[in-house]
Structure 1
């Protein structure tokens, strides 16, 4: 199923993702500039993350608290050259923690992804419009 949205409707896209009952590991696919980080920020806000969120491009992972005992980890695997670099940050511990894990550029760590995950694919329709699919 497809969902189309523009920036003013991004909260509806976040709701669409969460209403799909995704696994805790959510993989975000899409070309550079499609809006993966922007959408992840909105999904994080919908889950209860308060305050500013940012892209973990240089740190590889950002951690956010949702509730007293719940966390969200946001990964950006774009700059990885090998999967062993992901092991260096302890990615396996994050991905199997039971907390939310949102992963941008998961195609750079294909052998590390848990079997139970949800794929969100974002496509550019026009400068203003995006389409997402959930697998």
Structure 2
């Protein structure tokens, strides 16, 4: 799936992603400032997360409750020094929990990514709009 959107319509982009039935592990690729965190926040809101969400840049992971039985984990791997740090924090347990795992900078943890996942690539167009490419990877 490929489409373009502007930041005023990011909530529609989040809905379109969810309507396409992505895997629960979503990997977000794109340059710094492209809007990965903003899109993750909109997806969280569309899934039913209430209240404020924030970037887990320093904590590496933020946990949100969608309902009493389902969680969403938002990861920002940008500051990870090496993959073993992710192992130490129990990353594999999160990834195989069956809950939503939305991961920014997944290139930091290539050996931990489950075989089945969704990839979202964001880029900025000349007019400031965003281009989104999404693919489901089934292992």
Measured after TM superposition, the shift of residue 31 of structure 1 is 0.5
- Give 1:45's aligned residue: 45
Measured after TM superposition, the shift of residue 124 of structure 1 is 0.5
Q: Does 1:82 align with 2:85?
A: no
Structure 1 length-normalised TM: 0.97
d(CA) in 1 for partners of 2:26, 2:35: 15
Q: Does 1:13 align with 2:10?
A: no
Gaps of 5+ in 1: none
Gaps of 5+ in 2: none
Structure 2 length-normalised TM: 0.95
Runs (4+) of structure 1 exceeding 6 A deviation are none
Task: Sort the Cα spacing of 1:127 and 1:32 in 2 relative to 1 into closer, same or farther, 3 A.
Answer: farther
> Quick check: 120-129 or 92-101, which moved more?
120-129
Spell out, residue by residue over 1:97-129, the C-alpha distance to the aligned partner (whole angstroms, 9 max, x if none).
Answer: 000000000000000000010000001103631
Taking the TM superposition and a 5 Å limit, the aligned residue runs for 1:85-124 are 85-124=85-124
Measured after TM superposition, the shift of residue 7 of structure 1 is 1.1
- SS state at 1:118 partner: strand
Question: What is the alpha-carbon root mean square deviation over aligned residues?
Answer: 0.8
d(CA) in 2 for partners of 1:124, 1:81: 27
Spell out, residue by residue over 1:55-107, the C-alpha distance to the aligned partner (whole angstroms, 9 max, x if none).
Answer: 00000000000011100000000011210000111100000000000000000
d(CA) in 1 for partners of 2:96, 2:79: 22
